[in-house]
Structure 1
Amino acid sequence: MKKNNVILGLLFIGVLMGALDISIVGPAIPSIHDSLGLDEQQVSWIFSIYILFSLMGISLFARLSDKYGRRPFYILAVLIFGIGSLLVAMAHNIELLLIGRAIQGFGASGIFPVASATVGDIFPREKRGRALGLIGMVFGLAFLTGPVLAGLMLKYFTWNSLFLINIPIVILVIIGSMKLLPANRSPDSKSIDWPGIVALGLFLSGFTIALNNLKTAGFWETVLSLSFYPFIIVGLIAFVFFLLIERNSEHPIVDTKLFYLKQVRIVGFLAFGTGLYQAAFVFVPGMTVMVFGVEPSTASFMLLPVVLAMAISSPISGRLIDRYGSRIIINIAFGLMAIGLTLLFAVPLTKPIYYFAGVMLGIGLSVLAGSSLRYIMLNEVSAGERASAQGVLTIMISFGQIIASALIGAFTAGYRDSIKGYQIVFAILTFITILLGVSSLRLKSRSQEKEMYTGK
């Protein structure tokens, strides 16, 4: 059992490394923007291409590790991530930077599912929940510590150092994995859904490229141009094929039958909104630099109220959900999100207002990105469907992140050197938050959740 705990620590470090490279990008964006002379739409690709490639590889790595063993594919995923990190650290132009971020994302897509599967292999059933909880907690930890870590490093080093620091960690994780990770294969490994993986990749790629080419100045000209509509058409066609393939696949990436459940449909919509918020948060340091005229490292530290609000409210919200049910807590979260977002666009932005809005957003996001949506999913589906349900959440959150990063890039590019683009984005997000809040009213009440849980 002691060896299992050491393995868990090794997996924890690997997952943390991949998760941090999502949260540290936001504070680094102003520095990368100035260093490479990027425009706002190129900046949005730094975030969205990582998410895109991380989504495309999840199912592939999971199935390959089932078939051929955890150790080789965990090591391969970490190695790919390390190569991507090195390319990003060496980048002196946007092309190499994006290639590196894509490779990073693809490597990260294998780290988390293989780590989770390894936990299932080495821990007995009665201890898996706690171990998986520790692995899942990494993303929250990365989201909390990433901005602070980035701020400290940006104060003394260039932005490249944020990615170069991954290299020694990659080496240590690979050496530890070669010595400790089991090489056993799953006895009931499932076939790889190649058609589904290709269709999902085409769908996400088409939408991502189209939205990142969208321009608010000359909107209709952009929509009718070859840089937009061919890609959106490819994305739509691929989406239709993806649904047809998954409906008939023996081992689908996404079990479409889950969407027959009303609660799953609602949670999927809320997860999409959560992804929108998370992506918007990444771009806040850029707005902070513009509004208050501070250095990028200072802008990172100005996110501390958000980080502290999330750190304090995350465990509290979990207990409140257990006591009062998920619906009322999620309703309150959307109310707080609406207040915070409204303050960011509707009133003159001073530091006290900025910090207060950050606290509201931090509390709200801690509920939505924490346990609430997973709590509902786990209650709604059978034990055999839980992995598929978590896959639905992951895809919907990631799709929201991709959409938001592209639209933020389009609006900020249309209002260059002006806060107007950010204000429009936050106004749109406020409207979406109201829609999400209304939708959350259709979630099950506490009494209905109790009845379902007790089988009454």
Structure 2
Amino acid sequence: MGSLTIQAAKQRTLPKKLVLVTFLLGIFMGALDNGIVGPALSSINEHYGIAASWGVWSFTIYTLFFSVSIPVMGKLSDRFGRKNVFTAGILLFAIGSLLSAISPNFAFFLVGRAIQAIGTGGIFPITAAQIAASYPTEQRGKYLGYIGVIFGLGSILGPVAGAGIIAYLQWQWIFLINIPITLIILLLLTKVEIEQQLVKKPIDSYGIVLLTASILSIMLGITIENLVLIGIGVAIFIPLSLVEKKAKDPIMNMKFFANRNTLFILLLSLASGFIMATTINLLPMFGEEILGLSKGEAGIGVTPLAVSSMVASLVGGILVDKIGARNVLFAGFLITLVGGLSLYLLVSSVITLILTIVVMGFGIGIIIGAPLNVMIMQHIALQETGSAIGYLSLFRSMGSTMGPTIAGIILITFTNGFTFVYLAVAILSMVSLVLLATLKRVEVQR
């Protein structure tokens, strides 16, 4: 009777590969949305009668709430289960998409974007945590590499889909297109069963509130270049650390920051986000101002980087299983070092630019891909997977915000600002290589 029950349960459950596809479909939807909004920005501004300076808040509010939700959703997945929190993320994303599409005014539109962002925080890190927890050490890198491939594909198709929708339909459809995708994912999730050891301790409510306030203050301060807000965000860490010492299940696990290896891995994630966002955001402007390309030509120039990054994510993931995450990550930062120096010293024509961004894209695909996820897993308990990968994603998001902000300051301050920006990318790659060299070699088999 017991064996019949087990067999029936297996029949109701999706095969392991379809479970993987279900989670990756969430990644694709989030990546698609990330790029699909850009082409519609002018239409959104015109619809609500707002200036472009206000319109960019459709991106800013998304970045802020995405950053806040990542560690919280990651921690909740350890408490309530990855499937439940991922499902909640998909539902929130669908609700946010619908609200953004039907918003009567811009303020309501921003609320929809904020809800979308919170939902995305329950999709990206939990997908990585699910893959990391579902596959053995010798296969983990390969399957984590798929995240980069799917994210890259969505990022490439997003602007194309956005431009197509704007050309033939109302801008609201860039959000409404998410609804059928979320319904498919939710339908598949009803057939997903996940075995997970849950943390059965009280929720750290005070810690969540303080951490949220700290992240919002720091990220907003970086975005609008306000040192006071950044200082307030950092100062909140004092009461937060006191609260977390007493919490039975702290939202911010102080061990991640007290342990040199996990701290360095988080800093490497920060560096990877900085390098990625700085390179991608500035390439079109670099092509226009330095090489004299048209806006269309300069924009298309990012595509080779995205394709190269997709290939690198897959190749890097496979290599992680063969030669180790640390060695692959070292190669990735070495490649971004070469790419940064090339942009600093060598690029003077379209041909050299394309060659350089292909190289740079390959390095970026590695440093934001599987190696860091695998490395953080080597230094934590299995039941902390969601929380740890959540913080890894948070630090990458913070780096992605800091990079373009600091690059903008450099461009304003120096006459030949681009050279200094890419020199900074090269220097940060070198610092990352030094951090990697000082990491203790710890291999934990799971």
Q: What one-letter code is carried by the residue in structure 1 that aligns with 2:202?
A: S
**Separation in 2 of the partners of 1:404 and 1:389?**
23
Match of 1:437 in 2: 433
- How far does residue 53 in structure 1 lie from its aligned partner after superposition? 0.8
Deviates more, 1:128-137 or 1:367-376: 128-137
Query: Aligned Cα RMSD in Å?
Result: 4.4
**Separation in 2 of the partners of 1:131 and 1:338?**
27
Give the conservation status (yes or no) of the 8 Å contact 2:317–2:371. yes
Match of 1:81 in 2: 93
Candidates 269, 272, 276, aligned match of 1:271: 269
- How far does residue 328 in structure 1 lie from its aligned partner after superposition? 3.9
Match of 1:245 in 2: 243
- How far does residue 372 in structure 1 lie from its aligned partner after superposition? 1.4
For this pair of structures, how many residues does the alignment match?
427
Matches within 5 A, 1:19-418: 19-24=31-36, 28=39, 38=52, 43=56, 46-58=58-70, 60-61=72-73, 76-86=88-98, 98-112=110-124, 137-151=146-160, 153-154=162-163, 157=166, 164-174=173-183, 177=186, 181=190, 189-214=200-225, 228-284=226-282, 286-287=284-285, 290-291=288-289, 292-296=292-296, 298-347=297-346, 349-411=348-410, 414=412
- Give per-residue Cα distances to partners, 1:191-225, cap 9 Å, x unaligned: 322222211221122122222232xxxxxxxxxxx
- How far does residue 323 in structure 1 lie from its aligned partner after superposition? 4.0
Q: Secondary structure at the match of 1:441?
A: helix
Deviates more, 1:280-289 or 1:201-210: 280-289
Match of 1:225 in 2: none
CA separation of 1:183/1:328 partners in 2, compared to 1, >3 Å: closer, same or farther? closer
Give the conservation status (yes or no) of the 8 Å contact 2:214–2:233. yes
- How far does residue 283 in structure 1 lie from its aligned partner after superposition? 1.5
CA separation of 1:71/1:308 partners in 2, compared to 1, >3 Å: closer, same or farther? closer
Q: Secondary structure at the match of 1:253?
A: coil
- How far does residue 22 in structure 1 lie from its aligned partner after superposition? 3.2
- How far does residue 266 in structure 1 lie from its aligned partner after superposition? 1.9
- How far does residue 262 in structure 1 lie from its aligned partner after superposition? 2.6
**Separation in 2 of the partners of 1:159 and 1:408?**
36
**Separation in 2 of the partners of 1:183 and 1:314?**
26
Give the conservation status (yes or no) of the 8 Å contact 1:70–1:182. no
**Separation in 2 of the partners of 1:159 and 1:128?**
47
Query: TM-score, normalising length from structure 2?
Result: 0.76
- How far does residue 105 in structure 1 lie from its aligned partner after superposition? 0.7
Match of 1:14 in 2: 26
- How far does residue 300 in structure 1 lie from its aligned partner after superposition? 4.5
> Aligned pair 1:4/2:3, yes or no?
no
- Give per-residue Cα distances to partners, 1:84-138, cap 9 Å, x unaligned: 3356567899766654432321121233467678899xx9x67999799868733
Give the conservation status (yes or no) of the 8 Å contact 2:74–2:388. no
- How far does residue 373 in structure 1 lie from its aligned partner after superposition? 1.5
Give the conservation status (yes or no) of the 8 Å contact 2:347–2:353. no
- How far does residue 303 in structure 1 lie from its aligned partner after superposition? 2.1
Deviates more, 1:65-74 or 1:48-57: 65-74
**Separation in 1 of the partners of 2:360 and 2:89?**
33
**Separation in 1 of the partners of 2:216 and 2:275?**
21
Task: Give structure 1 stretches of 5+ with no counterpart.
Answer: 215-227
- Give per-residue Cα distances to partners, 1:288-308, cap 9 Å, x unaligned: 673344345x54432232123
**Separation in 2 of the partners of 1:191 and 1:178?**
31
Give the conservation status (yes or no) of the 8 Å contact 2:142–2:314. no
Q: Secondary structure at the match of 2:202?
A: coil
**Separation in 2 of the partners of 1:159 and 1:106?**
30
Candidates 420, 423, 427, aligned match of 1:427: 423
Give the conservation status (yes or no) of the 8 Å contact 1:199–1:242. yes
CA separation of 1:78/1:322 partners in 2, compared to 1, >3 Å: closer, same or farther? closer
CA separation of 1:345/1:102 partners in 2, compared to 1, >3 Å: closer, same or farther? farther
- How far does residue 148 in structure 1 lie from its aligned partner after superposition? 4.1
Give the conservation status (yes or no) of the 8 Å contact 1:65–1:73. yes
Deviates more, 1:249-258 or 1:63-72: 63-72
CA separation of 1:30/1:109 partners in 2, compared to 1, >3 Å: closer, same or farther? closer
**Separation in 2 of the partners of 1:67 and 1:326?**
28
CA separation of 1:71/1:376 partners in 2, compared to 1, >3 Å: closer, same or farther? closer
CA separation of 1:23/1:250 partners in 2, compared to 1, >3 Å: closer, same or farther? farther
Q: Secondary structure at the match of 2:210?
A: helix
Q: Secondary structure at the match of 2:406?
A: helix
**Separation in 1 of the partners of 2:222 and 2:334?**
29
Give the conservation status (yes or no) of the 8 Å contact 2:125–2:390. no
Q: What one-letter code is carried by the residue in structure 1 that aligns with 2:212?
A: G
- How far does residue 235 in structure 1 lie from its aligned partner after superposition? 0.8
Task: Give structure 2 stretches of 5+ with no counterpart.
Answer: 1-9
**Separation in 2 of the partners of 1:436 and 1:15?**
27
Match of 1:220 in 2: none
